[in-house]
Structure 1
Amino acid sequence: MDLLEALHIPNEGKMVISVVGAGGKTSCMEKLKEQLVAKGKRVIITTTTQMYLPTRHVVLNEDMNAIKSTLNRDGFVIVGTKANEEKMKGVSQACFLQLLLISDVLLVEADGSRRLPIKFPATFEPVIREQTNRVIVVTGIDSVGKKISEVCHRFELAKQILKVEEDHLLDEKDVAVLIYKGYLENRNMNQAHTVFLNKVDTKRQDQMADTVLKYIEEMEHTQSILLKKGRLMQS
């Protein structure tokens, strides 16, 4: 999949892309990075929450010389500070602004999901930098038909929104409501927003994805949100 084309990512100008939601944020950022670097773009990956520690191409401090060196050598670099033995957290505002100056594209993981396919964010989430141009909301279509308590991060909040119990099986409209109410209804209108339904593998899942996107369209009367479906990584 040409993700840059599918998501209408422009070829010119600086971009700050914040990836939120659940069910494929890391895959989305990896594919975007690969395709951007292939086009000669200088890409920096960072986070505003916490992400798992990478083993390569990473600078775990705000040493700009080390960051520039890795960026010049590899075309991309992952930048953060160590949170614990498993995860890294983000950088200071001052460092973030420096990263913006030396990169063409900043990819920011701006949400946590505990590796679940769908999420309803708390009031303090996601953590999106004001410099963001594009927000990509990722959700796994494999959440449809599953118990909300088993597949939804912060399911207690999601239960309240949907007015259901924890053994409720999510349907397509539920997924659309959680995406819209959680990430789109009160969005920053100065940032372009894209919804990407991930893990679409079968004809049935393709139909489910179409139904979810249709419900979102009905809730968003201005139709200003880019709606896409597919699979971010190969099975």
Structure 2
Amino acid sequence: MILQYNLGNLQKVNNYREAFQLVGMPSQVVSFVGGGGKTTTIRRLAKTYWEEEIPVVVTTTTHMRYEDVPYMLLEESIEKLIELLDVYGKCVVGNATDRKTADGTSKFCSTSESFFEEICQEMERRGGVVLVEADGAKELPCKVPEEWEPVIPKQTTQVVAVYGLDAIGKTFAETCFRAELAAELLHKKIEDKVTTDDIVCLAVSELGSRKSVGNKKLHLLLNKADSDERIAYALQICKKIDTMSEKPENILITGYDLYESR
């Protein structure tokens, strides 16, 4: 399920490329920041490109879960990148690292800036897209960035800030990466429970979702809308943000499709 907020209402959208308003767009570099759900969203967006035979590269400026696929590239070789794109039309690229996820899966890390520039040039030549996981949250639904975060490449054209609706009603300590920073920013305690107003504040703050975004287009993605209650939370958040002058240009809600059986 993908819903888009528009003039006080939530409207269904067909696919992730349409949701992020990328249909008919020239070559783009889209960076994903914020809480948990970035990798899943990147994969779903990448799938819409693959299905339309548009070349796509997935990479990271931090760390990302390793994928055991034939189009995984863990070295900085433009020749091998081109070969994988020619064969598969897609590539997941980075450098090897000894880091692992909580479940023991290996991670890979960022490429050099110079190789990332080569990737962008190649994808521009092909009319493709580069999708970048530009932030880490240890799979927690909420995130406030440290001074050095997020790591958004200069080539980025659009930014997607992700929040999990499952944070609402639970404490900052339970659900927020950098919980102390979130509490300080919101004048709360880490034992306090996250509210819809807290998500609103983080979503519009220059120390939250807007950090390092500059004049790039900003999308807000509220994920895990897997119940009527969470969809109601999402609509509350959207309507409150809609009254503000500084706000994301596009707000999306994703989750299981509760409406198919109705």
* Higher deviation after alignment, 8-17 or 107-116: 8-17
* Percent identity for Structure 1 against Structure 2: 29
Partner of 2:8: none
Structure 2 counterparts to residues 38-187 of structure 1, below 5 A: 38-56=51-69, 57-84=71-98, 86-103=106-123, 104-181=128-205, 182-184=208-210, 187=213
Comparing both structures, which one devotes a greater share of its residues to helix? 1
Q: TM-score, normalised by structure 2?
A: 0.84
Gaps of 5+ in 2: 3-14, 100-105
AA aligned to 1:157 is L
1:206 offset after TM fit, Å?
Answer: 0.7
1:223 offset after TM fit, Å?
Answer: 5.0
1:117 offset after TM fit, Å?
Answer: 0.7
Alignment partners' CA distance in 2, 1:89 and 1:233 = 33
The alignment of Structure 1 onto Structure 2 pairs a total of residues equal to 232
Alignment partners' CA distance in 1, 2:212 and 2:85 = 35
For 1:162-188, what per-residue CA distance to the aligned partner results, in whole angstroms no more than 9, with x for missing partners? 111121011100111122220127631
Partner of 2:229: 204
Matched residue of 2:161: which SS?
strand
Alignment partners' CA distance in 1, 2:161 and 2:172 = 19
Q: TM-score, normalised by structure 1?
A: 0.93
For 1:98-145, what per-residue CA distance to the aligned partner results, in whole angstroms no more than 9, with x for missing partners? 111222100000000001011111121110011101100111111100
Mapped contact 2:29–2:130 kept (Cα < 8 A): yes
Alignment partners' CA distance in 2, 1:20 and 1:188 = 14
Alignment partners' CA distance in 2, 1:217 and 1:47 = 31
Mapped contact 1:137–1:195 kept (Cα < 8 A): yes
Matched residue of 2:199: which SS?
helix
CA RMSD of aligned residues (A): 1.8
Alignment partners' CA distance in 2, 1:183 and 1:55 = 31
1:161 offset after TM fit, Å?
Answer: 0.9
AA aligned to 1:212 is I
Alignment partners' CA distance in 2, 1:185 and 1:218 = 20
* Higher deviation after alignment, 175-184 or 225-234: 225-234
1:216 offset after TM fit, Å?
Answer: 2.2
2:239 to 206, 210, 214: 214
Gaps of 5+ in 1: none
Alignment partners' CA distance in 1, 2:68 and 2:163 = 26
AA aligned to 2:47 is E
Mapped contact 1:117–1:141 kept (Cα < 8 A): yes
Alignment partners' CA distance in 1, 2:211 and 2:178 = 18
Matched residue of 1:136: which SS?
strand
